[in-house]
Amino acid sequence: MQNSIDPGRPDTNAKFQSFNRRKPMEPSELCNLAREAMTHAYVPYSGYKVGAALLCADGAVYQGCNIENASYSPTVCAERTAFFKAVYDGHRDFTAIAVCGGKDGVITGSFPPCGVCRQVMREFCADDFMIYLVNPTGFEAVTLSQLLPYSFSAGVHMRG
């Protein structure tokens, strides 16, 4: 049986926004994927679109966007969307993430991860995990330890 897709309707069987690569990914490529992910944001309340592209150690990339809710508390950030998708697919080893955002999808400056997203990153990533903050002229590279210097990690639970 042939599977034909009506061009006027979305392909509900399509799996997108995650793929594997065999060659190393340049930071600028990851930043471009974050920009693309930003276009999928659902932001009817704030208008601030955020996109993220998470690079796994095996070359897989997971994109995420922010998804708002009228009551705000259930809103999910782009970075966590990308991490949760990757973890669901079995990934636990991450190399870098690119993040971008702006009002109505216009990047006017860096859009660093919120504190909750930084803590989620710390759960899975080492201090030297790279975070690329996309800006209008390129990106700024920082490490997780620079954004979260006094982090709370699993090791804290082990201390007696």
Sheet order of strands, 130-135 included:
18-19, 61-65, 48-56, 94-103, 130-135, 138-143
* Interatomic CA distance for residues 123 and 117, integer angstroms: 10
Give catalytic status of residue 68 as yes or no. no
- Euclidean distance between CA atoms 32 and 23, whole angstroms: 16
* Residue in the structure block whose two tokens are 């009228």: 70
Given the residues 26, 36, 79, 140, select the one marked as catalytic.
79
User: Are the CB atoms for 134 and 110 separated by under 8 Å?
Assistant: yes
**76, 66 in Cβ contact below 8 A?**
yes
Q: Catalytic residue numbers?
A: 79
